[in-house]
Amino acid sequence: MHVLILGGTTEARALAGLLHGSAGLRVTSSLAGRVASPRLPAGEVRIGGFGGVDGLVDWIRAHAVDAVIDATHPFAEHISFNAAAAAATAHVPLLALRRPGWVPEDGDDWRSVASLDEAAHALDGLGDRVFLTTGRLGLASFAACPQWFLVRSVDAPDTPMPARTEILLDRGPFTLDDEREILARHGVDVLVTKDSGGAATAPKLTAAREAGIPVVVVRRPPVPDGVPVAATPEEAAAWALGSSGSQSRSW
């Protein structure tokens, strides 16, 4: 059985590690190629896009893929909807692996918004020194903002950005002490983040809570209708291993 993992996340790498070497199971992880030096998972790896829904359908058929697991970032909405359409067209089962989202705790001052554009508007009156942790691809939404921004990303941005911007190139996981130090050293008074969930980047929320700093949280897009969801790599691995022994495609 051939399982295609649409990856790039910590959970996708863990899933590939769990499945790689299983008897009768071939695992291929596909990475979008947006990070210059990605952390490669176990098993076979391909890098680059498929060319939309039709390209993904062709790849699934050409490589005899039996099941697809969408373990992309919770905000990779376009890829997830392409995966759902391609799996339906190719008549292969699809599972979404999504780490649970973050939940505010006592003492948090969160402002929930639906998009990066809404996040930019929400900054009015919240603070003057913004720690922006939404990645490098959405900076154009903040290009007209007058605030000072500390932008953290894995690779250097190459899109329009605010006039007053400092770039911090770094890759998680981040410790609570790391985040406390960043907030204090840069005088941050507002944090902007996406609800990506997981533990690797969650300490910034604790640091903001301790410092009494408001947080603008961009809500994650929904999983495509009808696609089952696993919360952990272990659940996704059990689904894949179970499907390898089943002739039914009822899910």
The ranges assigned to domains in the chain are 2-100+221-244, 110-218
Q: For the chain, report the end-to-end CA distance as a whole number of angstroms.
A: 16
Helix, coil or strand: residue 105: coil
The fold of the 2-100+221-244 domain, in CATH, is Rossmann fold (3.40.50)
pLDDT (0 to 100) of residue 250: 34
DSSP 143-209: TT--SEEEEEESS---S---SSEEEEE--S---HHHHHHHHHHHT--EEEEE---SSSSTHHHHHHH
pLDDT at residue 247 greater than cutoff 60? no
Query: Which CATH code fits 110-218?
Result: 3.40.50.720
Nearest to 25 by CA among 251, 250, 249, 245: 245
If pLDDT is split at 50, 70 and 90, which confidence band does 249 have?
very low
The model's pLDDT over 8-56, given as tens digits with 9 standing for 90+, comes to 899 999 999 999 989 899 999 999 876 667 788 999 999 999 999 999 9
The model's pLDDT over 145-192, given as tens digits with 9 standing for 90+, comes to 999 999 999 888 888 999 999 999 998 889 999 999 999 999 999 999
Q: What is the mean pLDDT of residues 49-70?
A: 97
pLDDT at residue 248 greater than cutoff 60? no
Cα–Cα distance between 66 and 112 in angstroms, integer? Answer: 39
Q: Is there a contact between 239 and 22 (Cβ–Cβ < 8 Å)?
A: no
Would the pTM count as exceeding 0.75? yes
Tell me whether domains 2-100+221-244 and 110-218 share a fold: yes
Q: What is the mean pLDDT of residues 115-119?
A: 97
**Average predicted confidence (pLDDT) for the chain:** 92
pLDDT (0 to 100) of residue 244: 57
pLDDT (0 to 100) of residue 36: 65
Cα–Cα distance between 234 and 170 in angstroms, integer? Answer: 28
CA–CA–CA angle 169, 170, 176 (5° rounding): 135
The model's pLDDT over 79-103, given as tens digits with 9 standing for 90+, comes to 999 999 999 999 999 999 999 999 9
